[in-house]
Amino acid sequence: MVVGSLLLVAGLVEAFAGTLHRQAKGLSVLAGAVTTFAGLLFVFNPVGHFFPTAVLVTGWLIVRSVILLAAGRYSTGSVRMWTLLSAAMDFFLAVLLLMGLSISSLVVVLFGPTAEIVAGFAWIFALSFVVTGAMLLEIASCERQLAG
């Protein structure tokens, strides 16, 4: 429920911020919509098991990274750099999650979700949110300079 709520709020904020992105508005809003959708899936269909949660998060990260990669191609300057960095970070985190998924699945099956696995999963979200937050702040800064 916590993961779903975080994704839902982050997605709504990202979608709203995407409406301010002049160069890739549609793609930026779409990235927020994908995050919102993932959050809604978690909120309305809470999964208590590690494996389905990890698969959903991996899918969300991959889809979002592809959307941000496309948005980065239409952006310029520092917004482009931060958008591509956010896309790369999400893709890297998805690959990292996939690589650790088989080991984590075995540990979860044998011992249940350990604090270390849950904490590692939380770091995946934290890193994605930090890079996305920096990207959105840069977009807001650039848009304010253009408007002023």
pLDDT number for residue 109: 60
Q: What's the full length of the chain, in residues?
A: 148
2-18 helix and 25-44 helix, angle to the nearest 10 degrees = 160
**Contact at 8 Å (CB) between 28 and 17?**
yes
Q: Quick: pLDDT tens for 12-43.
A: 988 988 888 888 889 999 999 999 998 888 88
Domain boundaries, given as residue ranges, for the chain = 2-147
- CA 123-70-58 angle, to 5 degrees, is 30
pLDDT number for residue 108: 62
Is 0.85 surpassed by the pTM of this model?
no
Q: Which two three-digit tokens encode residue 122?
A: 């939380």
Q: Quick: pLDDT tens for 62-119.
A: 999 999 999 999 988 888 898 999 999 999 888 888 877 655 665 566 566 666 666 6
Sign of CA dihedral 70, 71, 75, 81: negative
